[in-house]
């Protein structure tokens, strides 16, 4: 382990300890379980919130199969297969865990909703480290990151404090878009990461205004149901990215690509503005009658 790696770990641990000391605990709000749409269909409680989790299971299974089907995703780095396997296992498990929770929302069942999500979040961070920072370190980080996610759930469940889980959920939401923009990718179609992040952000907004959306749609669909559908678009976009991408000839970050494009745009704009138009005089012969 290099000095730089040790320094990063020390800074991360110290920052976490300080954060736990200076911030108050965040207990689970029991009103969280009171969703806007609680309608029953065919005897199934909270039916739309349950059924809307099916896409997670479908895309999770599809992604898991394609990971091992003749290397369909062209995974070329050590640890990539392991990282994406855990990601798709987490996605598929969300379909079961979240459905189980929404059948009878309570803290005990919420564990099985959140645990699969931490598997997906932490495996994505490991994948980014493998692809864009260091292949070996990223591979070795998969299991520790998964354990961090699991511990954050156990800490919440036993101490009724959501702070570690909040870090596990929201740090990737900030880190992944930043890494997608700042760090040079090994593969093409890197912009799909930003589409995935955008859909996840939209999902969180819909979750926050669950009741409002339910009122806006005249009780047709709630914000939480739409949240599930938008969140399911995250693995959809990542699966499309994996299916379409190739290894790049020259590794250039999205930020650099945008800078180059902006420079070309400004240059073309200047050339266009500085163009002068000249008119030539055309002699006109008078007609003779």
Q: Is 219 annotated as a binding residue?
A: no
Per-residue tokens: 9: 């770990």
Per-residue H/E/C for the chain:
CCHHHHHHHHHHHHHHHHHHHHCCCCCCCHHHHCCCCCCCECCECCHHHHHCCHHHHHHHHHHHHHHHCCCCCCCCCCCHHHHHHHHHHHHHHHHHHHHHHHHCCCHHHHHHHHHHHHHHHHHHHHHHHHHHHCHHHHHHHHHHHHHHHHHHHHHHHHHCCCHHHHHHHHHHHHHHHHHHHHCCCCECCCCHHHHHHHHHHHHHHHHHCHHHHHHHCCCCCCHHHHHHHHHHHHHHHHHHHHHHCCECCCCCCHHHHHHHHHHHHHHHHHHHHHCCCCCCCCCCCCCCC
For tokens 């961090």, what's the residue?
A: 148
Binding residues are 102
Q: Can you say which residues are annotated as belonging to the binding site for Zn(2+)?
A: 102
């Amino acid at each position: 382990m290099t000095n730089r790696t040790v320094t990063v770990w020390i800074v991360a641990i110290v920052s976490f300890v300080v954060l736990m000391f200076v911030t108050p605990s965040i207990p689970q709000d029991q009103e969280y379980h009171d969703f806007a749409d609680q309608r029953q269909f065919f005897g199934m409680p909270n039916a739309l919130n349950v059924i809307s989790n099916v896409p997670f299971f479908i895309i999770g299974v599809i992604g898991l199969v394609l990971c091992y089907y003749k290397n369909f995703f062209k995974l070329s780095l050590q640890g990539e297969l392991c990282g994406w396997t855990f990601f798709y296992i987490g996605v598929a498990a969300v379909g079961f865990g979240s459905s189980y929770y929404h059948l009878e929302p309570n803290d005990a069942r919420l564990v099985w909703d959140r645990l699969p999500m931490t598997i997906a979040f932490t495996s994505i961070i490991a994948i980014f480290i493998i692809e864009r920072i260091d292949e070996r370190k990223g591979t070795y980080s998969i299991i520790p990151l998964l354990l961090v996610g699991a511990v954050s759930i156990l800490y919440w469940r036993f101490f009724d404090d959501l702070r570690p889980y909040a870090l596990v959920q929201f740090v990737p939401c900030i880190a992944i878009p930043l890494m997608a923009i700042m760090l040079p990718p090994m593969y093409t179609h890197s912009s799909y990461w930003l589409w995935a992040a955008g859909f996840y952000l939209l999902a969180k907004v819909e979750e926050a205004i669950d009741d409002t959306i339910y009122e806006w749609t005249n009780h047709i669909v709630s914000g939480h149901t739409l949240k599930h559908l938008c969140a399911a678009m995250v693995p959809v976009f990542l699966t499309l990215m994996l299916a379409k991408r190739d290894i790049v000839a020259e590794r250039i970050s999205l930020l650099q690509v945008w800078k180059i494009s902006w420079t070309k745009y400004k240059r073309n704009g200047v050339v266009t503005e500085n163009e002068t138009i000249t008119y030539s005089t055309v002699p006109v012969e008078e007609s003779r009658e």
